[in-house]
Amino acid sequence: MQLICGEAHAHAIANLVVEMFDMSEAAASAFELEPNTRSWKTGDWIVEGYFANPPDEEMIRDLVRGIAGDDLAGKVQFSTVTEQDWLASASEGLDPVDAGRFIVHTSRDREAARRAGNRIAIEIDAALAFGTGHHGTTRGCLLMLDEILKQRRPANILDVGTGTGVLAIAAAKVLHQPIMCSDIDPVSVETTIENAALNNVSPWVRPIVATGLEHPHIRNKRPYDLIFANILAKPLRGLAPSIAKASTLQTEIVLSGLLSMDVPGVLSAYGAQDFSLVKRIDLEGWATLLMRNGGSARRRYDRFSAQPGLNGPE
């Protein structure tokens, strides 16, 4: 499915596809088009939906109609995607990405990354799991990690929804300490294990298959002083109480996978758990939030004391 429209409609439609369909059956993206290409104008965006099976086209048009009106609903186009090696094709189109001290690259740019001076190189090829470091959400998380590492050395880190393991691998490369990470998808966990070995951090990165934070391995290692959750708005809101329970005084959390329209609801959910916004990064239409626990007495742990983090909101 493709539709050219304005930015707000593109984000809203992509978000709706993600919310309406199972993640194993559908995916969606929205991005800005370069003007003067074909008939594209400044401010034009394209929203694309990909479906494992042919969708009900009229249902999709009705969903679009509810967001963007009859005119745009009538312009939605559907086509069948030609079968090809998508992983190889995706890797070929991914240039190295700078994110603070980190540089994320594919195997194609391995030698160039080795010549990147003092940068910390992370090799991630396109995979069946989410997260190559090239998406605005992952890059935003890496930039937040870089900022945090300038201020302190986190003692106990959790990466929820690790995808291909980019964030856990980045933290392990700097800190050389165990990083707890998990994903609901077994393919993601296998991919993270492979990527950890490729990046020589297997001793510190051992992902597990888990839903949320209630797995015994995750519970036994809490509290955490730094938690990453790069997923989607709806599950992020649902995880707020569990993340608060796994936190302690001054714990920092990095939340991403959010469209701009998602931010107020997520801030409200975590504000109710005594977290406050420290910093926000917006990249490619996606928001990444750094929040800090306000230190409610009901969540203090005698056996653990987190170090102070970044100084105040920007």
Residue ranges per structural domain of the chain = 2-73, 131-299
Contacts of 83 (CB under 8 A, 6+ apart): none
Q: What's the average model confidence in pLDDT over 6-35?
A: 84
pTM recorded for the entire structure:
0.68
Q: In sequence order, what are the residues at sequence separation of 6 or more whose Cβ sits closer than 8 angstroms to the Cβ of residue 287?
A: 140, 256, 258, 259, 260, 262, 263, 280, 281
Which has the higher per-residue pLDDT, 150 or 84?
150
* Residue 15: its H or E element: helix 7-20
The answer to which of 22-36, 133-147, 167-181, 221-235 has the lowest mean pLDDT is 22-36
- Residue 168: other Cβ atoms inside 10 A: 28
* Angstrom distance (rounded) from CA 209 to CA 249: 28
Q: Return the percentage of the chain with pLDDT > 70, whole number.
A: 82
Residue type at 264 in one-letter notation: P
Report which DSSP code applies to 180: E
pLDDT digit string, tens, across residues 220-263: 999 999 999 998 899 999 999 999 999 998 899 999 988 888 99
Is the per-residue pLDDT at 128 higher than 50?
A: no
Q: Residue 252 and residue 281: Cα distance in Å, rounded? A: 15
- Residue 86: per-residue pLDDT: 46
Confidence (pLDDT) at 38? 58
Confidence of residue 113 (pLDDT cuts 50, 70, 90): low
| 2 close to 47: Cβ distance less than 8 angstroms | yes
Lowest mean pLDDT among 1-5, 23-27, 61-65, 148-152: 23-27
CB 167 within 8 A of CB 145: yes
Residue 42 is given by DSSP the state T
The fold adopted by the segment(s) 131-299 is: Rossmann fold (3.40.50)
Cα(193)–Cα(30) distance, rounded to whole angstroms? 30
Of 34-43, 177-186, 198-207, 293-302, the poorest mean pLDDT is in: 293-302
